[in-house]
Amino acid sequence: MPFLSHGSHRIRYELDGPTDAPAYVLVNGLTQYSELWAAYRDALIAKGFRVATFDLLGQGASAKPELFISQEDQVEALRLLIEALGDGPIFLGGISFGALIALRYAILHGDRLSGLVPMSAFAELSPQLMLLGNALRTALILGGTSYLQDLLLPMNLSDSWLKPLLGKLDAVKRQGWLVNDVYALQNLMESFLEFQPLTPQLASIKTPTMILNGEFDFLTPRSLHETLRIHISDSSLVIIPNAYHAFTLEKATLTADLLARFAEDVMAKRWQGKQAVWIAPDDAGGEMMPFPAGFDHLRAIPVPRTTS
Amino acid sequence: MNQFLGPLDPSGRVPPLQQTRVASFLVSVHGALARQLAFALPGQFKAGWQTELNTQLHRETEIVSLLLRATSWAPDVTTFYNTLIWEMAWMPNPVSGVADHRLATTIDIAALGHAAHGAVRPAALLPVEASADDPFVVALRRIEFESSRLIQAQIHFLKGDDLKPVRDAVSAAVNDRHRQVRKLWTDVLTSIGIDRHADDE
């Protein structure tokens, strides 16, 4: 198991795929661990990519600082990992908290990236997100990791994903419960206590950016992704149909395909962000569909877009 | 080396020697915290937060009491030596870099509590097959669950604004206690054939 060093902290990472291939670096969500990207490793390597995954500070097998974990340290850990990948093209994807870290990296080191994929992302804490975050932190404090997982599973995954697993949810939760410690998750959550919105800095991201948002994601709803679309000039927003916040778990085949197609388009110079809004296909390999012209993509019912 | 306690007996119970080693360690560290809290507890509370100390004292005592009754104890030749090592390790060690001796000692108690409640996860040792009716299994789950709530007092105190001026000293003290507790806990687990990272190698 290889580790990077950041000061006295060790960061567990994994590299797979050909060393001379363009690389995808994938950043975990807050309660995740790097093994959850296994399906992406297989799919992206099969399409000719190298894949780098790692546990953030406070997660899994990486160091778990006892009292404080800053988001700046997470970005530095990510920088070290990307530095270790050499000079080839780098595509950076992150989910939720990992998307925030990826955005921070892109703001600071955007020149190093060929492409950026924030998924279930946010650059600021809306009142809803802040209050949900506070409530989830309280859940962790009062009920431990298991109770936090009990809340996150139905919030972030669809009925169709959950239904066949209802009888074995303990098994679904177990690895995440085993590798993540309450105080460390709490430190990750508390890294938001002095959070300042990234929105004013988003315009500095010139990297081609594909923003992915689940159709039914209410933890980080469309409006939070819209902030990214509006401020990142070479971006597109892609809505994943029938998906919730954790669509990277639920729709791994589709999402990995979207990641590969995005990178291939960028490298072939076909990518044109144009701040467009798209609807992803239901299945991998399907056609992307432009969001119907004239309708408001921020609404859940077909309301004509108002010009402002 | 295994990642979990076992092999379990046919009724899903943890072997008595493993129970004894794990329980001895937990009794030692939680007992030490109970003693230190009892010593630190003022006779008359003057501030609201001091009520938490009372809660902590009784929760730590409850953990010790629970383990004494829930464990299937087995004769263990290492008990005396291990207990001596552990009890010496838990001795108060006022944090250097903090002039107020009482505060320096309180930070150390909190640091030890943070490590005992954060770095030691006894329920994570249980294989999925462990019997949910076995008192030792239930006790380990209860201790881990309770620890995640008990640690909140240490987090609140150690990360609080009052200690901002001595934050580096506090962080170093907590880090030292974590290293110490992890080392001793790992030694216990190794002595009963457990390597928490056995699957990661």
Report the residue of chain B nearest A183, measured CA to CA.
B118
Return the pLDDT at A154. 97
Candidates A174, A177, A182; nearest CB to B151: A182
Specify which of A115-129, B44-58, B186-200 reaches the highest per-range mean pLDDT. A115-129
Domain boundary among A148, A175, A191: A191
pLDDT in tens, B45-104: 888 877 888 999 999 999 999 999 999 999 999 999 999 999 999 999 999 999 999 899
Is there a single domain that holds both residue A87 and residue A139? no
The answer to whether residue A11 is domain-embedded is yes
Question: Running DSSP on this structure, what letter comes out for residue A157?
Answer: S
A142 contacts in chain B (CB < 8 Å): 149
First to last CA, chain A: 53
Instruction: Name the residue range of residue A183's domain.
Output: 129-191
Together in a domain, A222 and A93: yes
pLDDT of residue A210: 98
Q: Residue A120 belongs to what H/E stretch?
A: none
ipTM of the complex: 0.94
Same domain, A166 and A264: no
Tell me whether residues A66 and B174 touch, CB distance under 8 A. yes
Q: Answer whether residue A149 is part of any domain.
A: yes
Please state whether the predicted TM-score (pTM) of the whole model is above 0.90: yes
Beta-sheet strands, E only, within A17-151: 23-27, 50-54, 90-95, 115-119
Q: What is the pLDDT of residues A144-190, one digit of tens each?
A: 999 999 999 999 999 999 999 999 999 999 999 999 999 999 999 99
Residue showing tokens 């919730």: A244
% chain B with pLDDT above 90: 87
In a domain, A299, yes or no: no
Same domain, A183 and A201: no
Residue of A nearest to B122 (CA): A178
Instruction: Report the alpha-carbon distance of residue B53 to residue B37 in Å, rounded.
Output: 7
Does A211 share its domain with A133?
Answer: no
- Domain-embedded: residue A297: no
Distance from the Cα of A179 to chain B's closest Cα (Å) equals 9
Decide if B145 and A190 are in contact by the 8 Å CB cutoff: no
Confidence of residue A308 (pLDDT cuts 50, 70, 90): low
The confidence band for B42, taking pLDDT boundaries of 50, 70 and 90, is confident
pLDDT (0 to 100) of residue A66? 97
Q: What is the pLDDT of residue A307?
A: 67
Tell me, what's the pLDDT at B196? 76
Given this model, what pLDDT does residue B198 score?
A: 58
